[in-house]
Structure 1
Amino acid sequence: MNHDLRVFYGWVRRSREILFGYCASLPPEIYLREHPDFAFGSIRNLHAHVADCYLWWVGTVGLGQPPTGIRGSEVPDVATMRAVFAQADAVVEEALQTFNQLDRVYEWTHPVRGWKARVSQRWLLLHPITHEFHHKGQITALGRVLGYPAVLGPGVDTDLVNPEF
């Protein structure tokens, strides 16, 4: 499998851990608090949406696994969310081991809605990653709106890939 994708996903996981540290520092009620002006309503729900994106695109579309349909309401706290992301990591690992035609474009049809998308195995891996970073910004913005800005220290950022050199 493409070694670069494996290394890059390791960087994504390290960056995710920074966000998990921030979320774990929040009072539990803040992690769960709904805010009507934010998509998905709460930090927890945004987090669940990100994990579900990995499980859907990589697991269901890419690997043919049954849909999981992770919902924020099923995840009571940050510790449980870590377990959900462990499932997503396992799915990505399986894809990294089995995807063998990364750049072959094919048409995929949604099994219920019928809409079509042209995808590749590489896209199935990279789309959830870019999606995750988009929502990390929303998570930290919502935290700031709720009175808990992310104070991460010099050179630490949740919106960037944090490589280990």
Structure 2
Amino acid sequence: MESLNEYMEHQYQWVKHSRKKLFDYCSTFVTEDFVKPISFFGNGGSVRSLLVHVVNTYKAWIVCRGMALNTDFLKEEVVSSMKDVIPIYLDIDVHVDAFIKNSRQKKLGVTFMRNGRLCTLSPFHLFSHVITHEFHHKGQILSISRCLGYQPIDTDIIS
């Protein structure tokens, strides 16, 4: 049987495969649509704002809490196109890969304060949180694209 770390490594490969499909699709958007907010979506409501929000979530949970590293959070104004997004996610991939490899030593979990209470989460819990969060917002991005007149593609991990 494979170790939990090996399962996380495999699962993150599927996340990256699905993300590539989304990024290739989003690269076809005109700039105005990439940054256009749709009022009924949260976190800024644009494709750009959701992609920035997702990467900042990886930074908060994996880099800061999971690895106890300092990081600068991304401001959406520095992202004007998918060409700006791709290297940012490649950098996050490096951190996630290191987190997975290093989580073998952190089986007891990560303890921190959240909403005034002490929480302890396992590395697997943190990992699961960020990837399900990414998939939630991926669905929103596909819905935004439909609102903008695009035909969403299949970005499932089984294709």
TM-score, with structure 2 as normaliser: 0.88
- Aligned residue in 2 for 1:138: 140
Q: Render the CA deviation track for 1:63-117: whole Å, top value 9, x for unaligned.
A: 111132222222111011111111110110111221125652453125xx75533
Q: Name the count of aligned residue pairs.
A: 155
TM-score, with structure 1 as normaliser: 0.85
Give the counterpart of 1:55 among 59, 65, 70.
Answer: 59
Tell me which moved more, 80-89 or 69-78: 69-78
Cα deviation for residue 26 of structure 1 reads 0.8
Are the equivalent residues in 2 in contact too, given 1:45–1:73 (CA < 8 A)?
no
**Rounded Cα–Cα distance in structure 1 between residues aligned with 2:50 and 2:102:** 29
Aligned partner letter, 2:157: V
Give the counterpart of 2:9 among 6, 10, 16.
Answer: 6
Query: SS at 2:77's partner residue?
Result: helix
Q: Which ranges in structure 1 are unaligned for 5 or more consecutive residues?
A: none
- Aligned residue in 2 for 1:92: 96
- Aligned residue in 2 for 1:35: 38
Query: SS at 1:100's partner residue?
Result: helix
- Aligned residue in 1 for 2:69: 65
Matches within 5 A, 1:120-131: 120-131=122-133
Aligned partner letter, 2:59: L
CA RMSD of aligned residues (A): 1.9
- Aligned residue in 2 for 1:161: 157
State, as a whole percentage, how many aligned pairs show the same letter.
30
**Rounded Cα–Cα distance in structure 2 between residues aligned with 1:79 and 1:92:** 21
**Rounded Cα–Cα distance in structure 2 between residues aligned with 1:66 and 1:143:** 34
Distance 1:125 1:143, change over 3 A: same
Tell me which moved more, 66-75 or 2-11: 66-75
